[in-house]
Structure formats: C-alpha cells, structure tokens
Amino acid sequence: MTIPAVIADAHVVAKRNIIKIKRVPDLLVFTTLSPIMFVLLFSYVFGGAIDTANGGQAYREFLLAGIFAQTVIFGSTITGVALAEDVKKGIIDRFRSLPMAPSAVLTGRTLSDVVNNVIVLVVMSLTGLLVGWRIDSSLVEAVAGYALLLVFAYAISWIMAWIGMLAPSPEVVNNASFIVIFPLTFVANTFVPLETLPAPLQTIAEWNPVSAVTQAARELFGNIPPGVPEPTAWPLANPVLYTMIWVVLILLVFIPVANLQYRKATSR
C-alpha cells in the first residue's frame, strides 16, 4: 500500500476510537477525575507540609509538571488495554478482513490516544490554575512544554501497543503496566526534589526519562524557582534533548516490534 493510503486508513481508525470516547463518556470522565484528584490532594494535603513558608504555593508550581508527566504516561496505557480488548472481542479479526493497511490499526489507536491526552492536559491545566499554578514563560515555550509531554506519551503508547498485542486480556495489560509505570513515575523528580532521595535512588532518578520530561516541562513553563542551582547530571542539564533521544529510540524499536506482534496476533 502507498503511504497516503496508510495515512487515510490510520485516520479512519483514529476517528473510530475518538467517536468511541464521545459515545462512552464514562471513559473520559474517569480518565480526567484521577489527575484532578492528584492535583488537589498533593496541592492541599502535602503542599502545606512540604512548603510551610507560603502555604504550599511554591510546591504547587513545582508539582504540576510532574502531575502532567505522570498522567500522560498513565494515559498511554489506554492504548494497550483498548487493543487487548479489541483482540479479545474479535474486532482485530474484523479489521484484518478489510482492505486496509495492517499498520493503520496501531497507528490510528496511538494517534487517537494523543487526543485523549490533550483533553486531559486541558482539564488538568484548568485545575492547576484554580489551585494557584501559573505559566511564567512565553506562549511558544508553554506550547513546546505541552508538545514535549504529548510526544513522550505518544512514544510510550507504542510500548503499550506492543504489550496490548502480547497480553491475553485487558486486565493483564492494566496490571502489568501499573507495576512498571508506577515506580517509574515515582522514582523521579515528579513530586519531590531529587536531593531528598537516597543516593542510589537519586542516581536512578537522574537518568530516568520521566525526570527529564518533567524537568523540561518545568523549564518550559517557567516553574523553576529563582536561585535553584543548575542540575549537574547530564540528562537533567539537557532535559529536552534527553527526552527526544528516548522518544526516537522507543519509536524506532517499538513501532516495528508492535506491528510484528500485531501480525502474529491476527494470524492465530
């Protein structure tokens, strides 16, 4: 098939998944409720204890980029769960019987989840504004911060697509992804400064790509407090570059691997 035909097929699959969000609004409601709860709980329950000087305002500035990063990464699990569910229900077999590019199924699925993450980021940003978070940079830098979060989440979606094709059920995908993503997003600078971590965990967190995308978002949103020393670890000193290196590596590895697993899954 030609590239325009693949793009057209991927667009149709993505549209099908976006329409599903509209027809099953519960999916979107519960996807957005979780990050809102995180923002409110961390801001008001932990913020005052961590930042006693001004009622948690500085901590809220620090927190939001980490919440954004964690949420879009967890949002990428929708890709794997939805694909595993499609395999279980036989929908993937129906796609296989249609005159369409096989790669369009996974491409359309991952692209539609970008739309879901956009909606979630908008809701979270509005919640952040309500609790006192502000963007203290230019419009271009702010847009770049959001774009970097979405690009990183898109790359993670391809890992989840591979897992979704590999796992026997949506429940397995959900549990397996939680076990991996939960520590990945907490052993990082998402919620606390790295200086507070024990030395071994601090080293891991410095090279954790979640720390890099969080640091990059903070810098692009202008949420780095004045007087904070520059990071010494290379990934955090060059967070945008380090994040993009991970994005490229993940896409180069998992786009072909996920599509290969898709062909195996549909040939059973």
- The pLDDT tens digits of the residues spanning 58-67 come to 788 888 999 9
Question: Does the pLDDT value for residue 52 go beyond 60?
Answer: no
Secondary structure element (H or E) that encloses residue 226, with its range = none
pLDDT score of 257: 94
Q: Locate tokens 């549909």: which residue?
A: 266
Average pLDDT over the chain reads 85
DSSP string across 138-159: -HHHHHHHHHHHHHHHHHHHHH
pLDDT digits (tens, 9 = 90+) for 106-131: 888 898 888 889 988 998 899 889 88
In the block, tokens 């702010």 appear at: 142
Angle CA(77)–CA(144)–CA(128) in degrees, nearest 5? 65
Residue 194 scores a pLDDT above 80? yes
**Residues 195-218 as b or e (16 or more Cβ within 10 Å = b):** eebeeeebebbbebbbbbbbbbbb
Query: Which tops the pLDDT comparison, 56 or 44?
Result: 44
Binned at pLDDT 50, 70 and 90, residue 253 comes out as: very high
Percent of the chain with pLDDT over 90: 35
Confidence band for 53, pLDDT divided at 50, 70 and 90: low
Asked whether residue 98 carries a pLDDT value surpassing 80, the answer given is no
Instruction: Residue 211: name the closest of 112, 34, 69 by CA.
Output: 69
